[in-house]
A and B are shown apart, each in its own frame.
Chain A
Amino acid sequence: MTGAGLGLSTPRVGGTDRVTGAQRFAADIAIEDVLHIALVHLDCGHAAIEEIHTSAATGIEGVVRVFTAEDFPNPVPRFGPRFADRPVIATGETKYHGEPLAAVVAVSKEAAADGAAAVRVEYKELPGVYSIDDALDPDSPLVMDPGLRTGDDPLADSNVRQRWDWGWGDVDSTEAELVIDEIYTFPMVTHFSIEPHTFAAAPEGGGVTVWSSIQHPYFLQGTLASLLDLPISKVRVHAPDPGGGFGGKGFPKYEPLVAMIALELGRPVRLVLTLEETFQAVRRTNARLQLRTGFARDGRLVFIDAIEDFMMGAYADIAPRVISKSSYFAAGPYKVESVRAVVRGLMSHTTPSTAFRGFGAPQMTWAIESQMDAAARALTIDPVEIRLLNLAGPGEEIVPGDRPADGDWRQALNIAAERVGWGEPLLPGHGRGISVGLKASATAGASYCILRILHDGSVSLIAGTSDMGQGARTILSQLVSENLGVPMERVTLVMGDTAVVPFDYSTSASRSTVFMGSAVVDACQKAIAELRGKTAVQHKVSVEDVVFTPGQISIDGAVYTLPEVLNDVFGAVPGEIIVTGSQRGEGDANHPLGGPASFYEVSCTASEVWVDFETGDFELVKHITVADVGKAINPQHVEMQDEGAAVMGLGHTLMEHLILDEHGRIVNLGALDYRIPTFKDMPATMESVLVENGDGPGPGGAKGSGEGGLLATSPAIAAALSQATGVVIKDLPLTPERVWEAMHGGDEGHEQ
């Protein structure tokens, strides 16, 4: 196998190990002498911890020690990506169902589990904040200790952690022919990576070594260094390729706990969460979006007046960023005269929500696109037409003064319409829907890499992206191969070890192809310059006379392969070319989001459904996604990701939602009761189409991709259902019961 030109679908690098079982995920790595941790939590959301009795647990054979808040510095250290509000272990109270309040360390997993079961906790269940209404009720308890807020926070006496007021123009004086005023809700859903979160730690070299299934190892390294008061160089994070991340493995969760236990015991320890515990550890931010949207008679979107409430959970994690970044783009990909959006990030006694594929945009898109369809129906305008009319064209702004549209989004919409058969006659019981979603990519951030051309001309690329299924190893290898002319099988990627791999901000926001990809191209260019310079010296010619084309160097018509060149320049003592590459986005301190997005990820979904009127059940006949990707470095990889995102979108659209009882407990905890899409839920036909206009900032004009396929799933399917049945549903998921109820005159189903 050679040839890795941009745009070729070379097979997955690392695919062989994954298909033979040789791939080592975090839980597969042998650690000598490792002890096992099991966590103790309570069977309710909010409780005051009165007494923790550990003697029965420590009496169990094999149990080494039981840790509670008392075993940690007082006050218990706190951390978090936005605010340092999450304690390493629950202290005084538990704030969500599943928050660990004790950790049992034992010589075997079984003994640890037995120990955890034997820990007896005296506690008093307290009233909890388990819904958006609870969070907004002034009589509800405060989730967050006001003392943890910094400065003079006027919101300190409420459960509003942060409020954003976005807008432009003057909504009150904007005239509209039609005003659509509705409330939409988006459920709590969980990431459900098939690999449960896995953490381990061991003391090493006066510092600590940590293994984690984390997406952002450098963020973890920084967090641990500051919590443990260690130089960054004394914290080593091994981050083996995660078995699915989807945002849920982005920021540190229980690694600080595990690291502190390892240091205290002076021994390696490991914690593998159960699937149930992963449900309790990560979820998407649920939301209630009240939108008043004004339209002109011709369908032009003229104003949006919104109150948007997002339930973040017990600790902020990255949710404030999720909320602010998505709600800032109040009208998604559309141009609108005026906007007024009041956006609140609410604390609750629930699992802290975090990044999740789409980063708030699926929630926003659900509301905005549902309103577009409502307007289309009210004004009897075709849903494709009303969107074409309002979509920003290339170079047109979607937020005044900010980065304008960087793609031909109308083209993507037209392709989606055509592929789904828009306008063709429908069979009885069938309906079609179409939607557009926009997600803003990374603002600031940096990626570094080291590229080594070894003396036989093979290449080692050391880059800190996490390959969690998106195929980063393949894409980055292809970029090396393309730029240097080295065959793919002679390129090796080194990732996942902060001791040897240079800094990368994160593997998130679909940023890696653009940021790390550009860093790799930068490194390749530097390597070429160095090769040419060295060759010129060797041949006593000027650099201009040394011509590099991928895989070879020519001087005055004489052609040398890369191994020949290296042999030539180093002579008898082998050497190598070592260069670094970097790509930095500095951001803009005056920008509300810390900088404009480096690109927009825009995706269109078109769906055709068939509804069984007897049961409310429906089938997806056709499901099309169209992604505006600029340039697909590896089309197969991009399509895989886009299809995968679409399937994930089917989850929150059709079936997924975490249900809480009045004690704040997750009722459907585990794979038996929380359903995600399976083979049986696949649409009869599913297609992913890529739009490639080379208009992105990455190599070859690439934009990031891989999240887009789920942005617009819900509104497209809901619109298809509406067309088939005549009912309009504003709450997700669209379960058969909900559809049936709407069709038979329940609360839902009628437009105002």
Chain B
Amino acid sequence: MSPTESAITLTVNGARRTVRVSPSTTLLEMVRTRLELTGSKECCAEGECGACTMILDGEPVNSCLVLAVETDGSEVTTIEGIGGAGMTPLQESFLTAGAIQCGFCIPGMVVAATALLERIPRPTESEVREGLSGNLCRCGGYSRISAAVMAVAGGNAAT
């Protein structure tokens, strides 16, 4: 351990983890390299694309902008923590709606949409578009992604 590193303890996907991080390590980098959870992606590294979206203490964040040391004592959910062993109805909905092309943006989209549905269980389509507008998809799957979210909004999946 280099002298500048410090140990933090946080809950990631329900499990308590203690990790040593340097002051400049981002939450994204820590999760990807130290915890070896590579589902969260890095693209812009400046908070503009949403590929790295995680849920931090109940709020969606761009984890590339969060310093790992700031997450001491926090609760973090990454894409790996969504759906546990199976898939959530939202994830199933992405599949059936044809919302997945290359898939690189998709973990961030799923996490952001999960957080959105927790905040607004019955969103309008424009609330979905607004709520996910920080997530870029260069494959251009936007209309299918919002359809996938709308299909499960407010428990629509059951009907």
CB contact under 8 A between A12 and B87, given known A242-B102, A682-B143: no
User: Taking the nearest CB of chain B, how far is it from the CB of A196, in angstroms?
Assistant: 6
A707 within 8 A of B: no
How distant is the Cα of A193 from the Cα of B51 in the complex, in angstroms? 12
Q: A639-B98, A644-B140, A680-B130 known; A18 and B106 CB under 8 Å?
A: yes
**Is B103 interfacial (CB-CB < 8 Å)?**
yes
Q: B138, A676: Cβ atoms under 8 Å? A: yes
1/0 contact string of B127-146 vs chain A (CB within 8 Å):
01110111111111111111
CB-nearest residue of chain A to B94: A19
Contact A676 B136 (CB under 8 A): yes
The yes or no answer to B63 lying at the interface (CB within 8 A) is no
Which residues of the other chain, B, contact A595 by a CB distance below 8 angstroms?
none
Expressed in whole angstroms, the minimum distance between the Cβ of B19 and any Cβ of chain A is 15
Q: Which of B66-74, B76-84, B150-158 contacts A (4 or more CB under 8 A)?
A: B76-84
B46 touching A671 by the CB < 8 A rule? Answer: yes
Residue-wise, chain B 116-129 has the 8 Å CB interface mask toward A (1 for contact) of 00000000000011
Q: Is A207 in the interface zone, CB < 8 Å from B?
A: no
**Residues on the A chain within 8 Å of B35, using CB:** none
Q: How many residues of B contact A (CB 8 A)?
A: 57
Q: Please choose the segment from A24-32, A431-439, A550-558, A742-750 that sits at the chain B interface, where 4 or more of its residues have CB less than 8 A away.
A: A24-32
Complex Cα spacing A682 to B101, Å: 17
Whether A19 and B110, one on each chain, are in contact in the complex, defined by CB atoms closer than 8 angstroms, is: yes
For residue A726, CB closer than 8 A to chain B, the reply is no
Instruction: Please determine whether B105 and A647 come into contact, CB atoms closer than 8 angstroms.
Output: no
Q: Mark B42-67, 1 if CB is under 8 A from A, else 0.
A: 11111011010000000000000000
With a cutoff of 8 Å between Cβ atoms, the chain B residues found around residue A28 in the complex are 32, 38
Verify if A735 is at the interface (C-beta below 8 Å from B): no
Residues of chain A whose beta carbon lies under 8 Å from any beta carbon of chain B: 9, 11-12, 14-25, 27-28, 30, 109-110, 191-196, 241-246, 272, 274-275, 468-471, 636-637, 639-641, 643-648, 670-672, 676-680, 682, 686
26 CB < 8 A contacts A-B: A9-B98, A17-B103, A18-B100, A18-B102, A18-B103, A19-B87, A19-B107, A20-B87, A21-B39, A22-B39, A27-B42, A194-B51, A194-B102, A195-B102, A243-B104, A272-B42, A275-B44, A469-B101, A640-B139, A644-B101, A648-B140, A677-B142, A678-B135, A678-B136, A679-B132, A682-B146
- A20–B114 CA distance with the chains assembled, in angstroms: 13
Given contacts A644-B141, A679-B129, A686-B143, contact A194 B43 (CB under 8 A): yes
The residue among A22, A243, A245 with the most chain B CB atoms within 10 A of its own CB is A243
> B48: nearest residue on chain A (CB-CB)?
A671
Q: Which residues of A contact B49 (CB under 8 A)?
A: 194, 275, 671
* Nearest CB of chain B from residue A259's CB, rounded to whole Å: 23
Is B80 a contact of A20 with CB atoms below 8 Å?
yes
Kindly list chain A residues whose C-beta atoms are within 8 Å of the C-beta of B140. 643-648, 677
Query: Roughly how many angstroms separate A19 CA and B38 CA in the complex, as a whole number?
Result: 13
Pair A194/B105 contact, Cβ less than 8 Å:
yes
Q: Among B22, B80, B95, which residue has the most Cβ atoms of chain A within 10 A?
A: B95
Cβ of A110 and Cβ of B22 under 8 Å apart?
Answer: yes
Query: Is residue B24 within 8 Å, beta carbon to beta carbon, of the partner chain?
Result: yes
In the bound complex, residues from chain A placing their C-beta under 8 Å from that of B100 are 12, 15, 18-19
Judge whether B96 is part of the interface by a CB distance below 8 angstroms. yes
A residues less than 8 Å from B141 (CB atoms): 640, 643-644
The complex places the Cα of A28 from the Cα of B36 at a distance, in Å, of 9
Q: Is the CB of A11 within 8 A of B96?
A: yes
> What would 16 more interface pairs be, CB under 8 Å, given A21-B38, A110-B24, A194-B104?
A12-B100, A19-B95, A19-B103, A19-B110, A20-B91, A21-B39, A194-B43, A194-B49, A195-B41, A241-B102, A241-B103, A468-B102, A671-B136, A672-B48, A677-B142, A679-B135
In the complex, the chain B residue whose C-beta lies closest to that of A467 is B102
Residues in chain A near residue B41, CB distance under 8 A? 25, 194-195, 243
Q: Closest CB of chain A to B84's CB: distance in Å?
A: 10
| A671 to B38 Cα, complex, angstroms | 22
B129 is contacted by which of A469, A648, A682 (Cβ under 8 Å)? A682
Q: Which residue of A lies closest to B103 (CB)?
A: A18
The 3 residue pairs across chains A and B that have the minimum distance between CB atoms: A21-B39, A647-B140, A243-B104
For B40, the chain A residues whose CB sits under 8 A away are 21
Residues from chain A with Cβ under 8 Å of B137 in the complex = 194
Instruction: Name the residue on A nearest B79 (C-beta).
Output: A21
Q: Would you call B101 and A246 a contact (CB within 8 A)?
A: no
A110: chain B residues at CB < 8 Å are: 22, 24-25
Complex alpha-carbon distance, A11 and B49, angstroms: 26
- In the complex, what distance in Å separates the CA atom of A647 from the CA atom of B138? 8
A275–B104 alpha-carbon span in the complex (Å):
14
- Could you tell me if B102 and A19 are in contact, using CB atoms closer than 8 angstroms? no
Query: Chain A residue with minimal CB distance to B40?
Result: A21
Contact call A21/B107, Cβ cutoff below 8 A? yes
**A15 and B48 in contact (CB under 8 A), knowing A470-B101, A677-B140?**
no
Residues of A within 8 A of B79 (CB): 20-21
Are A640 and B98 in touch, CB under 8 angstroms?
yes
How far does the Cβ of A665 sit from chain B's closest Cβ, in whole Å?
18
CB nearest to B102 among chain A residues: A469
Q: Is the CB of B96 within 8 A of A640?
A: no
**B residues in contact with A637, CB < 8 Å:** 98
Contact indicator A643/B94 (Cβ below 8 Å): no
A196 x B43 contact (CB < 8 A): yes
A244 touches B138 (CB 8 A): yes
CB distance from B155 to the nearest CB of A (A): 20
By a CB distance below 8 angstroms, the chain A residues around B96 are 11
Return the chain B residue nearest A678 by Cβ.
B133
Which chain A residues border B128 with CB–CB below 8 Å? 679
The residue in chain B whose Cβ has the minimal distance to the Cβ of A673 is B48
A16 B139 Cβ-Cβ under 8 A: no
Q: Which residue of B lies closest to A14 (CB)?
A: B103
Which of A191, A244, A680 counts the most B-chain CB atoms under 10 A from its CB?
A: A244
What residues of A have a CB within 8 angstroms of the CB of B105 in the complex?
A: 194
Q: What B residues does A15 contact at CB under 8 A?
A: 94-95, 100, 103
Shortest Cβ gap from B43 to chain A (Å): 5
State A109–B87 Cα separation when bound (angstroms). Answer: 33
In the assembled complex, the Cα of A636 lies from the Cα of B80 at a distance in Å of 27
Find B138's partner among A22, A24, A194, A470 (CB 8 Å cutoff).
Answer: A194
A16→B85 CA distance, assembly (Å): 12
Asked whether, in the complex, the Cβ of B22 is within 8 Å of the Cβ of A195, the reply is: no
Do the beta carbons of A670 and B98 come within 8 Å of each other?
Answer: no
Q: Which residues of A contact B94 (CB under 8 A)?
A: 15, 19
Query: Does B102 contact A672, Cβ atoms closer than 8 Å?
Result: no
Q: How far is it, in angstroms, between the C-alpha of A24 and the C-alpha of B107 when the chains are bound?
A: 12
Picked from A27, A192, A243, the residue with its CB within 8 Å of the CB of B102 is A243
CB closest chain-A residue, reference B51: A194
For residue B32, which residue of chain A has the nearest CB?
A28
Q: B51 contacts which chain A residues (CB < 8 A)?
A: 194
Chain B residues within 8 Å of A677, by CB: 140, 142
Q: With A and B bound together, what is the CA distance between A643 and B101 in angstroms? A: 11
